[in-house]
């Protein structure tokens, strides 16, 4: 249980904020310059709560799962995708992750930071207990950012070109991309602690098709 007395600071009409946790609700308000500050306080509160959860409730912060997520985090950009069905997670391991233009709505980038991890898990866990872990080498990622810029491409996300499958149009007339299966590390279930690894995982994977994807835009 978090105990936080109401904090209020008012210096002027354009420099004020108020934070309170009451009846398990985080209540915060302030002037427009305090948004990042208040979100930070919310993340801190979630972090404290998450680490006090019973291990029976959620294994997300167990050593095995944390090691699985954050292994080689210094050299790899890590993303998580939550799904409520294990068959979907298994399919992603075999065929890659499908997404539309908004990759960041499908997957969330994570850092080796307890507050950041707690916040993202709290926000995303509602989408399911199976969490797909993706990893892309920072060198590969930066290489294609540079190529996109050099070629003056209109591509907005590097993930859009990291595929060997053709883009297709779904029923809502949206372009659907498929992140290459090599970038899928595996998935875990945070309720039963099971971890499933992709034997083909290779965060340093590169393909001549990636460059062709940029040129074709």
DSSP letters for the chain: ------EEEEEETTEEEEEEEETTEEEEEE-GGGHHHHHHHHHHHHHHHHHTS-TTT--TTSHHHHHHHHTTTTTEEEEEEEES-HHHHHHHHHH-EEE-S-HHHH-EEE-S-HHHHHHHHHHHGGG-SEEEEEEEEHHHHHHHHHHHHHTT-----GGGTS-SSPPEE-TTS-EEEEE-GGGEEEEEETTT--EEE-TT--TT---HHHHHHHHT-
pLDDT, residue 47, reads: 54
Residue 199 has pLDDT above 50, yes or no: yes
- Entry pTM: 0.77
Give the tens place of pLDDT for each residue, 20-68. 766 666 677 776 666 666 666 666 665 555 555 444 578 999 999 999 9
Distance CA(142)–CA(6), nearest Å, equals 44
Contact 80, 108 (CB under 8 A): yes
Domain ranges of the chain: 7-51, 63-215
pLDDT in tens, 72-93: 999 999 999 999 999 999 999 9
pLDDT band, residue 114 (cuts 50/70/90): confident
Whether the per-residue pLDDT at 181 is higher than 90: the answer is yes
Structure tokens at 34: 């305090």
């Amino acid at each position: 249980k978090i105990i936080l007395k109401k904090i209020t600071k008012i210096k002027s009409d354009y420099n004020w904020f108020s934070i309170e946790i009451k009846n398990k609700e985080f209540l915060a308000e302030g002037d427009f310059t305090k948004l990042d500050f208040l979100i930070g306080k919310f993340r801190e509160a979630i972090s404290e709560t998450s680490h006090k959860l019973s291990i029976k409730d959620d294994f997300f912060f167990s050593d095995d799962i944390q090691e699985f997520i954050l292994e080689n985090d210094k050299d790899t950009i890590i993303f998580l995708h939550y799904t409520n069905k294990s068959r979907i997670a298994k399919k992603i391991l075999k065929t890659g992750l499908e997404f539309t233009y908004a990759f960041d709505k499908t997957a969330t980038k994570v850092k080796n930071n307890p507050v950041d991890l707690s916040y993202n898990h709290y926000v995303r866990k509602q989408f399911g207990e199976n969490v797909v872990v993706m990893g892309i080498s920072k060198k590969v990622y930066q290489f294609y950012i540079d190529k996109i810029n050099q070629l003056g491409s209109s591509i907005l996300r590097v993930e859009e070109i990291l595929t060997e499958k053709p883009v297709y149009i779904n029923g809502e007339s949206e372009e659907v991309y498929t992140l290459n299966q090599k970038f899928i590390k595996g998935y875990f279930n945070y309720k039963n602690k099971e971890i499933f690894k992709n034997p083909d995982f290779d965060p340093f994977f590169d393909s001549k098709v990636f460059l062709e994807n940029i040129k074709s835009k």
